[in-house]
Amino acid sequence: MVCYATRVAVTLHVRETVSAYIHAAEHRFLTLIAEYDRLRGWELGGHRSCAHWLAPVSTLEPVGRE
């Protein structure tokens, strides 16, 4: 049987590892969105801006001025 302190340490390590993967994936996602915006890919779908294209396809919402 694994002791309580070991289980806590392993759980903390796994949480930190998963958190790092999530942050890396979010960075990659935002990098791709920035490239899509630079290429003005949203215009192909008839959208007024990248924010207008992005709002319905993700959990990100347009914020502030464009």
pTM of the model: 0.68
Tell me what pLDDT residue 17 has.
Answer: 96
Averaged pLDDT in 10-residue chunks for the chain of 66 residues? 89 96 94 96 93 78 56
Tell me what pLDDT residue 2 has.
Answer: 75
Tell me what pLDDT residue 12 has.
Answer: 95
Exposed e or buried b per residue across 6-38, where buried means at least 16 C-beta atoms within 10 angstroms of its C-beta: eeeeeeeeeeeeeeeeeeeeeeeeeeebeeebe
